[in-house]
Each structure stands twice: as C-alpha cells, then as structure tokens.
Amino acid sequence: MVRHSLIAERDDNPGGSKGVSFAGDAWLGYVPHRMSDTISVQQRLPPGAAAVLINKNHTYRDIFMTIDVTEKRWVDGIDGNCCIGDIVKDRLQSTSQQIEQIDMARVFFERLWWHDQVVFDASRLTNTNNGQGPNERLKRNQNSIANGSISKPDHS
C-alpha cells in the first residue's frame, strides 16, 4: 500500500456520526490543521494570486490551489488551535461586508478540505464559554463589531 488516509471518530458520540459538513453553522467551530506536506509558493504567481498551495503528497503533481490576499490571510491564521470562526472574525476586512466574508470563508475552507490542504478537528464544537459553540460566539461578536461595542483587532 503506497497511500493511506484515515478519518477517526469516537464511537461514543452522543449524536452519532455527523462527518464534515459545511451546511449550517457547525463548520465555524472546526479547528483546521494544515497538512504537513503542503507548501505555499509565493513566486511567479498568476495575476491576482497571493500564493499557490501545493500538497506534495498528491499523486498527481498538477493539483494545486491558487489563493488570493484574503484567503492567504485566513491560511496564515491556521495554527491548529483556533476554530474557523475565530480565524475569520480576527481577520475581518470590513464590518460592513462581514456576512459576505463569512460566506466566502465557508466556500474557501470547504475548498481547502476538498483539495487536501487541511484536515479538521470537529471534536471541540462546544466549549466552556457559557455552553456556547464558536458559531454562537462569532455571531455575538459580529453583532458587537457592527454596533461598535467591541473593536476589530488590528492585524497590521
């Protein structure tokens, strides 16, 4: 056997198998982990690209993923600890376009997954923050950013 992949899931999951899904809001709580053999190329890029992601373990070497500046900011935020919701929230470009950016992030992180650039830890979908999952925290924080009660982090 030349190649092997594994998806591990606990058999005592109270809700049964859910799998990775980008329908609904649960994906905001996934913690992305970069594949160890993925490289980010930043030279000789096509117009509009900030980087090209290549998983060196792909059987077919012509599989790559071109990303723009916003998407690169999200990829750079992947640290194996933060959930997608926090990565996106901390890198919001404009509070007036936050819903649009959340939709862009959903499509992007699903694309990362399909291109074998990341795996997700979905075991931590709730935390001790008053029993709220990260998606509820993100929505609360988005409302706070929009009404000005908290400020957007400065990532300059």
Query: Using one digit for the tens of pLDDT, what is the confidence trace for 37-86?
Result: 889 999 999 999 999 999 888 777 778 899 999 999 999 999 999 999 99
Q: What percent of the chain has pLDDT over 70?
A: 66
Could you tell me which residue, 128 or 90, shows the higher pLDDT? 90
Burial 78-97 (b: 16+ CB within 10 A, else e): beeebbbbbbbbebbeeeee
How far is Cα 78 from Cα 61, in angstroms, rounded to an integer? 24
* Per-residue model confidence (pLDDT) at position 111: 94
How far is Cα 104 from Cα 88, in angstroms, rounded to an integer? 10
* Per-residue model confidence (pLDDT) at position 109: 95
**Structure token pair of residue 33:** 């982990």
Mean pLDDT of the chain: 76
* Per-residue model confidence (pLDDT) at position 148: 46
CB atoms within 10 A of CB 61: 9
Could you tell me which residue, 43 or 12, shows the higher pLDDT? 43
Give me the mean pLDDT over the 20-33 stretch. Answer: 90
Kindly state the helix (H) or strand (E) to which residue 33 belongs, with its residue range.
Answer: strand 31-34
Instruction: Return the SS3 of 112.
Output: helix
How far is Cα 57 from Cα 1, in angstroms, rounded to an integer? 14
Segments making up each domain of the chain, as ranges: 26-144
Using pLDDT thresholds of 50, 70 and 90, give the confidence band for residue 138.
low
Q: Nearest 5°: phi and psi at 89? A: -60, -45
Could you tell me which residue, 111 or 131, shows the higher pLDDT? 111
* Per-residue model confidence (pLDDT) at position 21: 86
* Per-residue model confidence (pLDDT) at position 33: 94
Could you tell me which residue, 13 or 155, shows the higher pLDDT? 13
Q: Residue 55 forms beta bridges with which residues?
A: 38
3-6 long-range Cβ contacts below 8 angstroms, 24+ apart: 3/57, 3/59
Read off the pTM.
0.70
